[in-house]
Structure 1
Amino acid sequence: MSLLFIGIDPETGDHESPTVWVDQENKELVFQGWKPGAKLEAECAALKLPGHAAGIPDTEAVIRIPGRMADMIRKACDAVERANDVP
Protein backbone atom coordinates (compact mmCIF):
# COMPACT_ATOMS: atom_id res chain seq x y z
CA MET A 1 0.00 0.00 0.00
CA SER A 2 1.27 3.46 -0.87
CA LEU A 3 0.01 5.85 1.81
CA LEU A 4 0.48 9.56 1.25
CA PHE A 5 0.40 11.38 4.60
CA ILE A 6 -1.77 14.49 4.31
CA GLY A 7 -1.98 15.81 7.85
CA ILE A 8 -2.65 15.33 11.52
CA ASP A 9 -4.89 17.41 13.76
CA PRO A 10 -2.52 20.07 15.12
CA GLU A 11 -4.64 20.59 18.24
CA THR A 12 -4.43 17.05 19.61
CA GLY A 13 -1.88 15.96 22.15
CA ASP A 14 0.56 13.08 22.06
CA HIS A 15 -2.11 10.44 22.70
CA GLU A 16 -4.80 11.46 20.21
CA SER A 17 -4.14 11.84 16.55
CA PRO A 18 -6.94 12.21 14.02
CA THR A 19 -5.02 11.76 10.77
CA VAL A 20 -5.70 11.92 7.03
CA TRP A 21 -3.90 9.86 4.36
CA VAL A 22 -4.48 8.99 0.71
CA ASP A 23 -4.04 5.39 -0.39
CA GLN A 24 -2.54 6.14 -3.79
CA GLU A 25 -2.66 2.54 -4.99
CA ASN A 26 -6.37 2.07 -4.32
CA LYS A 27 -7.25 5.75 -4.85
CA GLU A 28 -9.02 6.04 -1.49
CA LEU A 29 -9.12 8.42 1.45
CA VAL A 30 -7.97 6.92 4.76
CA PHE A 31 -8.91 8.45 8.10
CA GLN A 32 -7.94 7.82 11.68
CA GLY A 33 -10.33 9.48 14.08
CA TRP A 34 -12.01 9.31 17.44
CA LYS A 35 -14.53 6.65 18.32
CA PRO A 36 -17.96 8.24 18.17
CA GLY A 37 -19.30 7.00 21.49
CA ALA A 38 -22.30 4.75 21.91
CA LYS A 39 -24.97 7.45 21.48
CA LEU A 40 -23.65 8.82 18.16
CA GLU A 41 -22.86 5.36 16.82
CA ALA A 42 -26.40 4.20 17.64
CA GLU A 43 -27.81 7.31 15.96
CA CYS A 44 -25.81 6.59 12.80
CA ALA A 45 -26.83 2.93 12.85
CA ALA A 46 -30.52 3.86 13.14
CA LEU A 47 -30.54 6.15 10.10
CA LYS A 48 -32.63 4.89 7.22
CA LEU A 49 -31.30 6.21 3.94
CA PRO A 50 -32.51 5.40 0.43
CA GLY A 51 -30.63 2.41 -0.95
CA HIS A 52 -28.85 1.80 2.34
CA ALA A 53 -29.70 -0.79 4.98
CA ALA A 54 -29.94 0.39 8.57
CA GLY A 55 -27.03 -0.53 10.79
CA ILE A 56 -23.27 -0.48 10.43
CA PRO A 57 -21.76 -3.52 8.70
CA ASP A 58 -19.00 -5.36 10.55
CA THR A 59 -16.58 -4.26 7.82
CA GLU A 60 -17.26 -0.55 8.43
CA ALA A 61 -16.77 1.91 11.29
CA VAL A 62 -18.05 5.32 12.32
CA ILE A 63 -15.30 7.78 13.28
CA ARG A 64 -15.22 11.44 14.26
CA ILE A 65 -12.86 13.95 12.65
CA PRO A 66 -12.67 17.53 13.98
CA GLY A 67 -14.05 20.18 11.63
CA ARG A 68 -10.78 22.08 11.89
CA MET A 69 -9.28 19.36 9.65
CA ALA A 70 -11.52 20.31 6.70
CA ASP A 71 -8.60 21.83 4.76
CA MET A 72 -6.64 18.58 5.17
CA ILE A 73 -9.60 16.59 3.91
CA ARG A 74 -9.89 18.90 0.88
CA LYS A 75 -6.17 18.39 0.23
CA ALA A 76 -6.68 14.62 0.44
CA CYS A 77 -9.61 14.86 -1.99
CA ASP A 78 -7.42 16.80 -4.43
CA ALA A 79 -4.64 14.20 -4.08
CA VAL A 80 -6.98 11.27 -4.73
CA GLU A 81 -8.45 13.05 -7.75
CA ARG A 82 -4.94 13.58 -9.14
CA ALA A 83 -4.27 9.87 -8.60
CA ASN A 84 -7.37 9.13 -10.71
CA ASP A 85 -5.80 11.11 -13.59
CA VAL A 86 -2.77 8.79 -13.62
CA PRO A 87 -3.39 5.55 -15.57
Structure 2
Amino acid sequence: MALLFIGIDPNTGDHESPTVWVDQEKHELVFQGWKAGPELEAEAATFEVPGHAVGIPDHEAVVRIPARMVQMIREACDAVEAAARVQ
Protein backbone atom coordinates (compact mmCIF):
# COMPACT_ATOMS: atom_id res chain seq x y z
CA MET A 1 0.00 0.00 0.00
CA ALA A 2 1.32 3.44 -0.89
CA LEU A 3 -0.31 5.95 1.44
CA LEU A 4 0.14 9.62 0.66
CA PHE A 5 -0.27 11.76 3.79
CA ILE A 6 -2.48 14.77 3.05
CA GLY A 7 -3.06 16.38 6.41
CA ILE A 8 -4.02 16.20 10.05
CA ASP A 9 -6.59 18.23 11.98
CA PRO A 10 -4.84 21.52 12.79
CA ASN A 11 -6.48 21.50 16.22
CA THR A 12 -5.03 18.10 17.08
CA GLY A 13 -4.06 17.60 20.67
CA ASP A 14 -2.08 14.80 22.25
CA HIS A 15 -4.86 12.22 21.93
CA GLU A 16 -6.86 13.26 18.87
CA SER A 17 -5.66 13.06 15.31
CA PRO A 18 -8.27 13.06 12.54
CA THR A 19 -6.12 12.47 9.46
CA VAL A 20 -6.55 12.26 5.68
CA TRP A 21 -4.49 10.05 3.35
CA VAL A 22 -4.75 8.83 -0.24
CA ASP A 23 -4.10 5.19 -1.12
CA GLN A 24 -2.29 5.76 -4.40
CA GLU A 25 -2.49 2.12 -5.50
CA LYS A 26 -6.20 1.56 -4.87
CA HIS A 27 -7.18 5.17 -5.69
CA GLU A 28 -9.09 5.59 -2.45
CA LEU A 29 -9.39 8.21 0.25
CA VAL A 30 -8.45 7.00 3.73
CA PHE A 31 -9.77 8.80 6.81
CA GLN A 32 -8.98 8.51 10.47
CA GLY A 33 -11.60 10.24 12.57
CA TRP A 34 -13.47 10.19 15.80
CA LYS A 35 -15.75 7.23 16.39
CA ALA A 36 -19.26 8.32 15.59
CA GLY A 37 -20.78 7.15 18.85
CA PRO A 38 -23.80 4.91 19.26
CA GLU A 39 -26.45 7.58 18.57
CA LEU A 40 -25.01 8.76 15.25
CA GLU A 41 -24.14 5.21 14.19
CA ALA A 42 -27.69 4.08 14.93
CA GLU A 43 -29.13 7.01 12.96
CA ALA A 44 -26.82 6.33 9.99
CA ALA A 45 -27.79 2.65 10.09
CA THR A 46 -31.48 3.48 9.58
CA PHE A 47 -31.09 5.22 6.21
CA GLU A 48 -32.64 3.44 3.28
CA VAL A 49 -30.82 4.31 0.07
CA PRO A 50 -31.40 2.50 -3.25
CA GLY A 51 -28.72 -0.14 -3.75
CA HIS A 52 -27.57 0.06 -0.13
CA ALA A 53 -28.55 -2.37 2.60
CA VAL A 54 -29.94 -0.91 5.82
CA GLY A 55 -27.39 -1.04 8.60
CA ILE A 56 -23.63 -0.80 8.80
CA PRO A 57 -21.68 -3.94 7.86
CA ASP A 58 -19.12 -5.19 10.38
CA HIS A 59 -16.26 -4.30 8.02
CA GLU A 60 -17.35 -0.63 7.77
CA ALA A 61 -17.46 2.26 10.25
CA VAL A 62 -19.02 5.67 10.67
CA VAL A 63 -16.44 8.31 11.60
CA ARG A 64 -16.56 12.05 12.21
CA ILE A 65 -14.20 14.43 10.44
CA PRO A 66 -14.20 18.11 11.50
CA ALA A 67 -15.36 20.67 8.93
CA ARG A 68 -12.08 22.55 9.36
CA MET A 69 -10.47 19.68 7.38
CA VAL A 70 -12.54 20.30 4.22
CA GLN A 71 -9.58 21.81 2.36
CA MET A 72 -7.48 18.71 3.13
CA ILE A 73 -10.29 16.48 1.87
CA ARG A 74 -10.43 18.52 -1.35
CA GLU A 75 -6.67 18.12 -1.72
CA ALA A 76 -7.03 14.37 -1.17
CA CYS A 77 -9.77 14.21 -3.84
CA ASP A 78 -7.48 15.99 -6.31
CA ALA A 79 -4.59 13.65 -5.44
CA VAL A 80 -6.64 10.46 -5.85
CA GLU A 81 -8.04 11.68 -9.18
CA ALA A 82 -4.54 12.52 -10.41
CA ALA A 83 -3.26 9.08 -9.38
CA ALA A 84 -6.14 7.41 -11.21
CA ARG A 85 -5.40 9.36 -14.40
CA VAL A 86 -1.75 8.21 -14.35
CA GLN A 87 -2.75 4.55 -14.60
Q: Distance in 2 between matches of 1:36 and 1:56?
A: 12
Displacement of 1:50? 1.3
Which secondary structure state, in structure 2, belongs to the residue aligned with residue 25 of structure 1?
coil
4+ aligned runs moved over 2 Å, structure 1? none
Identity within the alignment, %: 74
Give the unaligned 5+ runs of structure 2. none
1 CA distance for matches of 2:34 and 2:48? 23
The residue aligned with 2:29 is 29
Paired positions, count: 87
Q: What amino acid maps onto 1:31 in structure 2? A: F
Q: Distance in 2 between matches of 1:26 and 1:81?
A: 11
1:60 is matched with 60
TM-score, with length taken from structure 2: 0.97
2:66 paired with 1:73: no
| Corresponding residue for residue 20 of structure 2 | 20
Q: Are residues 1:6 and 2:18 paired?
A: no
Superposed CA deviations along residues 1-33 of structure 1, whole A, max 9, x for unmatched, are 100000000112011000000000111000000
Residue 34 of structure 1, CA deviation: 0.2
TM-score by length of 1: 0.97
- The CA RMSD measured in Å over matched residues stands at 0.6
Higher mean C-alpha deviation, range 42-51 or range 69-78: 42-51
